[in-house]
Each structure stands twice: as C-alpha cells, then as structure tokens.
Amino acid sequence: MSAVTTEGILRGSRLSVTASRRRILDLFLEKDIALSHQDIEAVTSGSFDRVTVYRTLQTFLEKGLIHTVPSSDNVVRYALCKDACAEGHHHDDHVHFVCDSCGATTCIDEVSIPPIRLPGGYRVRQIGMVVNGTCGRCG
C-alpha cells in the first residue's frame, strides 16, 4: 500500500489531472478536516472560478473521493474518503466530530458507530453520527 498522495488519488480516479483538482485535493490532504465550498473558496480565493469549485466537488463526490458530512447548520462539508470507499458506494460509518471552539470538522475513523435498535417497522440502511465538543487542540 503506497502513501496517499494527490497525484496517486487523481491517477486512480481516472479523472483528468488539472490544476484545480490537484489544488483542491491537496487542501483536503493537507488540512485533514472537512471543508465546505466556502472554506475552499476562502483559501484559493480567485485562483479558480466559483463554478469550477462546485463542479470539482461534485465530481469528487461521484467518483467516491470525498463524502458529505452531516451537519446541523446549513453548510455542506466534504471530507476525504479513506480506502474503503468506492464509486457510488460509501463506507462512511465513522463518527464525525465538530469542535465548538475551532469549528473544525474531523472524521474519527477509529471509532465506528454503535449498532442501534429502532422500534418495529423501521428498516435501517445507514447511520450517521455527529459529535459536538472540544477537540484535542482546543480542549
């Protein structure tokens, strides 16, 4: 298993390698937290068109490179998928953490979501879990 690099991920995705894709993917690898469209815009400010960022995120989603993170505000955030994710079918059953202090959203891959029993009639397909609190850096 090779180190996870921007180049490697892009090659593997069978997508054309372009400056914007490289840059955005770089950001995810470097920051290692979930990023919103706005976050990305703020950092790359003007290097690419707004539309390009939207489309890049959309493409990454479809190719299974990133997944969306549930949130209570109205902001969609995306995070890098780890190995187990494939196109269309996400292996996304890890806990997401949102720090009250620094606002960062991180995937906690070490902790998987506990099973749950629902009242009769409900059929469970997927479970999402978001924990709010303070992270190691801020606590």
Partner DNA sequence: ACGATATTGCAACAAAGTTGCAGAACAAAG
Partner DNA sequence: CTTTGTTCTGCAACTTTGTTGCAATATCGT
Axis-axis angle for helices 19-31, 50-62 (nearest 10): 70
Which residues fall within 8 angstroms of residue 115, CB to CB, at 6 or more apart? none
- As to burial, measured by CB atoms within 10 angstroms (0-12 exposed, 13-18 middle, 19+ buried), residue 58 is exposed
Nearer to DNA, 10 or 107 (CB): 10
The residues that touch DNA, with contacts defined as CB under 7 A, are 15-21, 37-38, 47-52, 54-56, 58-59, 74-76
Q: Rule CB under 8 A: choose which of 3, 16, 73, 83 binds a second copy.
A: 73
Interaction between residue 120 and a second copy (CB under 8 A): yes
* 8 A C-beta contact, residue 67 and residue 61: yes
Q: Rule CB under 8 A: choose which of 1, 2, 74, 83 binds a second copy.
A: 74
Query: What is the residue whose two structure tokens read 């979501």?
Result: 113
Closest distance to DNA from the beta carbon of 60 (Å): 10
Contact positions vs a second copy (CB under 8 A):
68-76, 95, 97, 100, 108, 110-111, 114, 116-137, 139
